[in-house]
Structure 1
Amino acid sequence: MKAAMIGGGVIGGGWAARFLLNGWDVAVFDPDPEAERKVGEVLANARRALPGLYERALPPEGRLGFCDTLEEAVEGADWVQESVPERLDLKHRVLAQVMAAAPEDAVIGSSTSGFKPSELNAQGARAVVAHPFNPVYLLPLVELVGDADLTGRAAETLRGIGMFPLILRREIDAHIADRFLEAVWREALWLVKDGIATTGEIDEAIRMGFGLRWAQMGLFETYRIAGGEAGMRHFLAQFGPCLTWPWTKLMDVPEFTDELVDLIAGQSDAQSGHRTIRELERLRDDNLVGILRALRRTGSGAGGVVLAHERTLPQGGTGPDGLPVTLEMQVPTSFVDYNGHMNEAPYLEVGVRASDRLMEMIGADADYIAGGLSYFTAETDIRFLSEIDIGARITVTTQVVGGDGRKLHLFHRFWTGGESPAATMETLLLHVDLGTRRVVAPGGAVAERVAALVAAHAGLPAPERLILGRPAS
């Protein structure tokens, strides 16, 4: 599959990264002589951040190319994304060129944050609004506006690269999210202009309070909880009257003067000027990965999109030692300590997830546990053989070195591309009846699958070091 990016700025570069890291070939056209450098810097951030959301490996990265002409970029493209500046005359010219050169069945998306499809297509184009949010490679939301058949096709493609398409019921200026953000932004400008708060204080009010709630529940679900046991109806009865109070200035706009610009820019410099934009981007990405991974655990909000996409990513196969792969993932920033490499606790987490995958392979999954049986970890031994750095791709292979029924003895090897494993984890598990809390032998399909793995691995060389399950000397 091929995606063409027309415009390689912050948004175009983010689109390129999202497609590229999900296995698509990407062609970029941007007349800016600095485009390749700028896209390359966005990609460096994306490679560091996006795979860290998942506990499966993303597809092999596609091929990236920079083209001298728009026509070369869109040739053979399945998706064309226009991300040029917000000038309608420019978008008309670019979309006309795209229409003349792109395949007839290509989806043509525009990153516009304000224009409606009827405006974009006034001169015969067939584009849909595909409005993303920065950083495109991490945030899943894409607002889709336009022809129902085209937006339906677009939504299917976007879900395949881990995004959340929101199809608008009808077109409207600035779509949904930016209209909401505009209201918040307008009120923030008044608070600064009137000396009520600084830019930093407003940001603290968001990130220390309601911003955390919005990340998982949005607006209406948050307010439903605020209504207590009676829910939204009670909330509306309690707080509805305040809508007539003169709290906000949403129907008024402060005059956009040089003085207002200087005031806001000066406060922003004092707030964040000690960091470069690239440093701020990496800080933003690290925080977003941490928040999204936390939401992923419960399937809440955007974390549910990550989890659903992760389930479509392939897993399995064999590793460098010919043993089954039980985990393949990239080291997220949250696994790394102040020395820049993975610290002790994540090694255990990686090994536990590999054990969990083996449990799925033998049928000791969630349904099995719900039936009253499970494997409990009795002993674990980890060896740290070499450093594992942030962004490293870990492949875990698992050898079943013993399984006499009630016990299951596993040996995991962590591979990061070298000839030898970077770490090993030996673990001994006991099969337990959850009702009696006693160790019992498994039966049925689980016992058969364990026996099959034991037999399959019986002829393999024994691990270089086994210490668990032996009597004390």
Structure 2
Amino acid sequence: MARKAAIIGGGVIGGGWAARFLLNGWDVAVFDPDPEAPRKVGEVLDNARAALPALSDGPMPAEGQLVFAASLTEAVEGADYIQESVSERLELKHRVFAQIQQVASGTPIGSSTSGFKPSELQQNAANPAVIFVAHPFNPVYLLPLAEVVPSPASDPAVIETAKEILREIGMFPLHVRKEIDAHIADRFLEAVWREALWLVKDGVATTEEIDEAIRMGFGLRWGQMGLFETYRVAGGEAGMKHFMAQFGPCLQWPWTKLTDVPEFTEELVDLIAGQSDAQSGHHTIRQLERIRDQNLTGFLRVLKERNWGAGKVLLEHDARRRANLPAPVPGDGPMEAARLTVLPGWIDYNGHMTESRYLFASSETVDAFLRHIGADIAYVGTGFSYYTAETHLVHLGEAKLGDALTGTVQVLAADEKRLHLFIRILRDGQPVATLEQMLLHVDMAKGKTCAAPQAILDRLLPIAQAHASLPRPDAAGRHVGQRNA
């Protein structure tokens, strides 16, 4: 049975939370008195459905059920987790917490607040121990960071439960060890924002020029190395000490106005808004959101390929999701070993899945089978592995965006050194491709084939024996260009 998340507040952030939970298989109840909330949340969901699956290399779980509750009480009843995302007014948040805890006094309540400390949120609460800050970043359904900020009154067990829930939906819970106004990330953003306002007000730069300085330069570095690691590299071989010694004295120079705020006048607002309209006013907000999501997806995919930064979070999320998939089970026919979904990055200019992704689907299927017989990543760590020596791919149908695929394995032959497999990639039970593959068991240090250990053979050979009675696939042993009978 799916777990339930209650989202209180259906704006941009609340909608992002709803999408993040919903697309990770949770049932979601949203409460927002705004009659436009279903439309607004629906538009966020449309963006999330187009972007979030592109970050996963496995199938997304079945989408949960979304309901718009008629009351706050209805939304939180039976919830396993509650996320509050109402306006940044402390008295409003206190009223919301009080209503929640009339019916869900022990349920974890995360607040999306960007500024208030948890001790302020907990004031006069019936059960302050379960209220904490869980501050995300927009778009919530793509960016993994959530600043988790407890107070001394927080229950450590509740905080750990909340962090695990956030990991389960693919987020990176950053445990902020000491509560402070605006937490960690927004304090940086405020400092940069202040300086940017001065640069525009003083006529040094336009809004577009400032954005170009960020996205063409240090923003790219920050996105994958952060602040201190970037400066460690800037210090050269001598590292951070050299950087600090070289650039430390400039801290005494009056370069910036980070502690001064320009006067907030109508003239300044008009100046900033006018330049911003000239910069990107030719795009609607929905268009900008889609452009942003496509760019973020590409950037995050690159980080994922390198197991770096936010990409490491995505890989770990894939591994958790893969661990929950049904294990391959020998039966009367070929073994179902993998389930996949055709993602946006798998599609070519014809709108069909590319050849490389058929090979990827086969690889995922074979990897699942190898894990089943004990030749998993831990086994590879011992210095032995199965190497692919030959593959023959036959295209039988077209797979398109969003199609659910199943990979099955039939063992054609196996001995202590060789593994001859026939893989079917199925859509709706019908093959869209078949792959015949020969694998060799290899001593990686010597670069030579060798006999697999008895523990693996004890799991492999009974499957090969069971599959020996299956009809031999017509495509097995075909050469390229051979006509069908």
Using structure 2 for the length normalisation, give the TM-score: 0.89
How is 1:143-182 mapped onto 2 (pairs within 5 angstroms)? 143-146=147-150, 147-149=154-156, 150-182=158-190
Report the Cα distance in structure 2 between the residues aligned to 1:311 and 1:214, rounded to whole angstroms: 26
Match of 2:70 in 1: 68
Gaps of at least 5 residues in structure 1 are none
1:315-354 equivalent positions in 2, closer than 5 A: 315-317=325-327, 323-354=334-365
Match of 2:18 in 1: 16
262, 275, 291: which is aligned to 2:299?
291
Mapped partners of 1:12, 1:52: distance in 2: 22
Alignment correspondent of 1:129: 133
Question: What amino acid is the match of 1:61?
Answer: E
Q: Are residue 207 (structure 1) and residue 215 (structure 2) matched?
A: yes
| Corresponding residue of 2:278 | 270
Deviation for aligned residue 1:11: 0.8
Task: Describe the shift of the 1:337–1:259 C-alpha distance in structure 2 as closer, same or farther (beyond 3 A).
Answer: farther
Identity %: 61
In 1, the alpha carbon distance for the partners of 2:360 and 2:479 equals 21
Seen in structure 2, the aligned counterparts of structure 1 residues 129 and 295 have a Cα distance that, compared at 3 Å, is: same
Map of 1:379 onto structure 2? 390
For 1:42 and 1:321, the matched residues in 2 are separated by 45
- Report deviation, 1:289: 2.5
**Would the alpha carbon gap of residues 423 and 281 (structure 1) be closer, same or farther in structure 2, given more than 3 Å must change?**
farther
User: Per the alignment, in what secondary structure is the counterpart of residue 124 of structure 1?
Assistant: coil
Q: Distance in 1 between matches of 2:279 and 2:434?
A: 45
* Residue range with higher mean Cα deviation, 166-175 or 379-388: 379-388
Q: Does 1:460 align with 2:473?
A: no
Maintained 8 Å contact 2:333/2:467: no
The verdict on how the C-alpha distance between 1:139 and 1:154 changes in structure 2, with shifts beyond 3 A counting, is same
In 2 relative to 1, CA 328–281 (structure 1 residues): closer, same or farther, beyond 3 Å?
farther
How far is 1:180 from its partner? 0.7
1:68 maps to amino acid:
A
Partner Cα distance (2:212, 2:338) in 1:
39
Instruction: Mark the CA change 1:167 to 1:459 in structure 2 (over 3 Å): closer, same or farther.
Output: same
Partner of residue 355, structure 1: 366
Higher relative contact order (CA 8 A, sep 6+): 1
Report the Cα distance in structure 2 between the residues aligned to 1:70 and 1:186, rounded to whole angstroms.
Answer: 37
- CA offset at residue 435 of structure 1? 4.4
Between the aligned partners of 2:353 and 2:270, the Cα distance in structure 1 is 44
Q: CA deviation at 1:108?
A: 1.3
Q: 1:448 to 1:367 in 2, by over 3 A?
A: same
- Matched with 1:85 is 87
Q: What is the root-mean-square deviation of aligned Cα atoms in Å?
A: 2.6
Give the TM-score normalised by the residue count of structure 1: 0.91
Q: C-alpha separation between the residues in 2 aligned to 1:399 and 1:348?
A: 16
- SS of corresponding position for 2:398: coil
Q: 1:126-180, CA deviations, whole angstroms, 9 ceiling, x for partnerless residues?
A: 3211111111112111112231424233223222222221222222111111011
Q: Which residue of 2 aligns with 1:390?
A: 401
Report the Cα offset of residue 68 of structure 1. Answer: 0.9
Alpha carbons of structure 1 residues 244 and 80: separation in structure 2 relative to 1, 3 Å: same
Who is 1:431 aligned against?
441
2:425 aligned with 1:414: yes
Q: Secondary structure at the match of 1:431?
A: strand
1:373–1:93 CA distance, 2 compared to 1 (3 A): closer
Quick one: distance in 2 between partners of 1:390 and 1:284? Answer: 21
2:72 and 2:78 map into 1 onto residues whose CA distance is 12
Distance 2:180 2:446 in 1: 61
**Counterpart amino acid of 2:52?**
L
Shift of 1:370: 4.3
Aligned residue type for 1:207: R
Give distance in 2, aligned partners of 1:155 and 1:94.
22
Q: Which runs of 5+ in 2 are unaligned?
A: none
Q: Distance in 2 between matches of 1:254 and 1:309?
A: 43
Which residue in 2 is equivalent to 1:29? 31
Distance in 1 of aligned mates of 2:201 and 2:398: 52
- Counterpart of 1:245 (choices 253, 266, 271) is 253
